[in-house]
Amino acid sequence: MSETTMNLTLKIWRQKNQNEKGRFVTIEAKGISTDMSFLEMLDVVNEDLTRKGEDPIYFDHDCREGICGMCSLYINGQPHGPKHGTTTCQLHMRSFHDGQTIVIEPWRAAAFPVLKDLAVDRTAFDRIQQAGGYVSVNTGGVPDANCLPIPKVKADEAFESATCIGCGACVAACKNASAMLFVSAKISQYALLPQGQAERWSRAQAMVEQMDAEGFGACTVTKACEAECPVGIKLTNIARMNRDYFNAKFFKEETVHH
């Protein structure tokens, strides 16, 4: 594909800080290369703004290669833009056309308050992780190969759940701002492995409790999260979480001790 340039109209959410009300601002982006990533396009716009002495657009990013989960833009009605299975940093301007208007919004959720412009506070996810998304019992040193009895299918499934990058697109996409896909992936990655068994039931309870405490919505199985998740986390994780949670609450001895 040959490189061409295009002109775009950006409608961007701008908000000074957590307390102030935000609004949409229209900015023209001229001479954007189709080979640029979406974030590089914003870099160009920001350089322009800085030159003019204006406040650059604040947005989250880090690795810019689709693994850290920091980039978080809601582009034309979809988290991470129109392409499925990709993060905003991996989205290229060739997915848009010359003269197009692009509306960029921050993730919208009560649990993800806007910090500034397009950046939101996602520490709610950290707190959910801290509530139980780890193995705290001593599982010994690095085991010898093939010492742990785990079927390949389970290892694969656990690995797939573990690919969640914590970006929050599932919350952003869900009409209920539900975090179930994220939480269930984090629960599943241990629930499927032998090392995770010791704390399996307390973990499910603790993480669900924290998820509710953060004010995320409930799941209505629209599957928007699955469609928008950049790494393809499956809805079956949510079923597993439900199963583990009810199992823990109704049939197991362990409860969470605060």
Partner 1 sequence: MSSFKEAFSSTLGKKLVMSLTGLFLCTFLIVHLIGNLQLFKNDEGFAFNQYAYFMTHFGPIKIVSYLLYASIIIHALYALILTLHNKKARPIPYDQKPGNKNAAWNSRNMGILGTVLLVFIATHMANFWWKFHNDQVPYIQYETNIETGQISAIEMPAEEFTDYKEFSQDGVEYVQARDLYKQVEFAFENPILVAFYVLAMVALSFHLIHGFKSAFQSLGFDNKKWIPLVKFLGIYVFGVIIPIGFAAMPLYFFFK
Q: Which residues contact partner 1 by CB under 8 A?
A: 11, 24, 74, 76-78, 103, 105, 108-111, 173, 175-178, 208-209, 211-212, 215-224, 227-228, 235-236, 238-246, 249-250, 255
Choosing from 64, 94, 108, 252, the residue that interacts with ligand FES (CB under 6 A) is 64
Choosing from 66, 81, 133, 168, the residue that interacts with ligand SF4 (CB under 6 A) is 168
Per CB under 6 A, the segment of 56-64, 137-145, 160-168, 241-249 that binds ligand SF4 is 160-168
Q: Which is nearer to ligand FES, 70 or 241 (CB)?
A: 70
Question: Going by DSSP bridges, is the β-strand pair 74-75/101-105 parallel, antiparallel, or unpaired?
Answer: antiparallel
Answer yes or no: are the C-beta atoms of 82 and 95 closer than 8 Å. yes
The CA distance from 236 to 242, in Å, is 10
Contact flag: residue 193 with ligand SF4 (CB under 6 A) = no
Q: Least distance (Å) from ligand SF4 to the CB of residue 229?
A: 3
User: Which of 178, 174, 60, 203 shows the shortest CA–CA distance to 111?
Assistant: 178
Contact flag: residue 71 with ligand FES (CB under 6 A) = yes
Choosing from 12, 29, 164, 207, the residue that interacts with ligand SF4 (CB under 6 A) is 164
Instruction: Identify what 62 binds: ligand FES, ligand SF4, partner 1, none; CB under 5 to 8 Å per kind.
Output: ligand FES
Query: Exposed/middle/buried for 50, CB within 10 Å: 0-12, 13-18, 19+?
Result: exposed
Contact flag: residue 229 with ligand SF4 (CB under 6 A) = yes
- Number of residues binding to ligand SF4, judged by CB under 6 A: 14
Cα separation values, 144 from 124, 153, 197, Å? 37, 20, 19
Contact flag: residue 112 with ligand SF4 (CB under 6 A) = no
**Sequence-ordered list of residues with C-beta below 8 angstroms from that of 133, at least 6 positions apart, any chain:** 186, 187, 190, 203, 207
Q: Least distance (Å) from ligand FES to the CB of residue 64?
A: 5
Residue with tokens 């959410």: 13
Structure tokens at 128: 């959910």
Cα separation values, 232 from 38, 115, 180, Å? 21, 28, 14
Choosing from 87, 161, 184, 237, the residue that interacts with ligand FES (CB under 6 A) is 87
Instruction: Identify what 168 binds: partner 1, ligand FES, ligand SF4, none; CB under 5 to 8 Å per kind.
Output: ligand SF4
User: Which of 210, 220, 153 shows the shortest CA–CA distance to 187?
Assistant: 210
Residues that bind ligand FES (CB under 6 A): 61-64, 66-71, 87-89
